[in-house]
Amino acid sequence: MSHSNFSLLSGIAVTLLSTMASSHAQTPAGTANWQAGVVLDGAVTSKGLELGARDKGLGLGHSDLMVRGAFNEHFSGEAVLGFHTQDKKLEQHVENAWVQTRSLPHGLQVRAGRFASQIGYLNELHPHADDFTERPLLYRGLLGGHWYDDGVRLNWTAPTPFYLRFGAEVFSGKKLVREATPDSTSLVSTLNMKMGNDIGPSSSWQWGLSHVQNKREAEVEVHDPAAEAHSHSASFSGKRMWISDLVWKWAPEGNNRNQQVRLNWEYAQVSGINRYADSTMRHRASSLGAVWKFTPAWEVGVRTDWLRVAKPEDHSGTIEFGNGRLTENAIMLAYKPSHMQTLRLQLTQQRASGANDDGEPVFAKPAGRSIQLQYVIAFGAHGAHSY
C-alpha cells in the first residue's frame, strides 16, 4: 500500500474513531458505549535482534487504532488497524475485525472474523502491552510474533468455583504459514484450556495448555545466506504444536497498586516439520520471565529464553536440515507514570549456534548485545487488562 493510500485510510479511521467516541451518549439502553483509542509504540534500537520485529535505529513498533463496543444486547465487536515501521517504511494491516456473542447461555461464547488466537499466554495480548520490548523467541520463531488470522472461535467457561475455560478455533492459516505447498489444506485448528485460582489473599495462578493442528505445510525456502527480511508468519512450523503456559502473581492482600511480582513460563514443541523431515525432528522453545513492580511507577524485569530448531533449506533441489539454537537474555527497567504511558530501557544479549551440512549457520546474524529504549503512549480507550 502506498503512503498516500495509507494516509487516506488513516484519516478515515481517525474520523470514524472520533465520530464513534463522540456519539457514545446516544447508545441505546442495554448496550455498552462504543469506544475508540490509539496506541503509539516508538523505540530506538542499537542493533536489530535475530527474528526481531524492530530495526536498528528509530522506528515504530506495534501501534494501532482501535474501535470497540456493543451492537446490541446480543453482539459486540472490535476493529483494530495496526501499523509499524519495517526497513524504515510505514506498514499497516487490519489486525482485528470481529463480532462476538454476549448472551449465549451456559457459559458459551462465539467469535467470528479476524482475531488473535488465544493459544499460549501472550499471543492474544497486544505486543505493546508486553513487559519487554520484543516477544520471546517462542513467539517470534514459531508464531510470527503475534498470530492473528481469519476464523471462528467457540469458548465454554465452566460453572466451577475456580476459573476453567475450554476453547476451540478454526482459522484459514494463511497468516501462520504464508507460503504453503500446493497440496496443503488451508486450515489450522486449535484446542486450548485455561484454569486458575487464588492462593490465599495475596497470590494467584493460571495454567494453560494449547494444541495447534496445522494442515498448511510451509514451502522449503531456497538457501540464501545473504537474505534478510522480517517475517510476519512463523519462521519454523509443523503439523502439530503443543504450548504450556504458567503464570503466578503476588501482591500484598491482592492490591497491585504499589507492589507486584509476576512470573511467566512458557514451553512449546512442534513436530511433523515437513514431508522431508525425520519423525524425531522437533522445534522446541522455552521462555521464563520475572517482573517486580517495586513502587507504583517503577518495574524491573529479567527474561531468559531459547529456541532450538531443525531448519530445512533447498540447496539446488536437495533438502538439507540444519540444527540451530538461539538463546536470549534480557533485563529491563520501566517507568510508568500512568497506565497510559511506559518508558522502558532494556539490554538484550543473543547467542547462536548450529549449522547445516554445508557449514552455513542456521542463525546467521545474532545481535550479540542490543540496547532498546521504548516509549508507549495510549490515547482514549485501550484493551482490557487480562490476567
107-160 confidence digits (pLDDT tens): 999 999 999 999 999 999 999 999 999 999 999 999 999 999 999 999 999 999
Q: Would you tell me how many other CB atoms lie within 10 Å of the CB of residue 332? A: 21
User: Torsion over CA of 150, 62, 125 and 50, rounded to 10 degrees?
Assistant: 90
Q: Is the pLDDT of residue 7 over 60?
A: no
Angle (CA) 305-307-313 rounded to 5° is 160
List the one residue out of 315, 316, 307 whose CA is nearest residue 356. Answer: 315
What are the residue ranges spanned by the domains of the chain?
A: 96-380
Banded model confidence at residue 217, pLDDT cuts 50, 70, 90: confident
Q: Is the pLDDT of residue 373 over 70?
A: yes
Q: Is the pLDDT of residue 16 over 80?
A: no
CA-based Rg of the chain, rounded to a whole angstrom? 21
pLDDT digits (tens, 9 = 90+) for 170-193: 999 889 998 888 888 778 999 999
Strand partners, 82: 64, 93
Pull the grid cell for residue 304: 531468559
Task: Enumerate the H helices of the chain as residue ranges.
Answer: 3-22, 137-142
Say what the pLDDT of residue 252 is: 94
Beta strand segments in the chain, E = 35-45, 57-60, 63-70, 75-86, 89-101, 108-116, 148-157, 163-171, 188-199, 203-214, 240-250, 260-271, 283-295, 298-315, 318-338, 341-353, 369-380
pLDDT digits (tens, 9 = 90+) for 51-86: 998 989 999 999 999 999 999 999 999 999 999 998
CATH 2.40.160 applies to domain 96-380 = yes
Place of cell 497440496: 183
- Amino acid sitting at position 368: G
Q: Is the dihedral of CA 115, 116, 117, 121 positive or negative?
A: negative
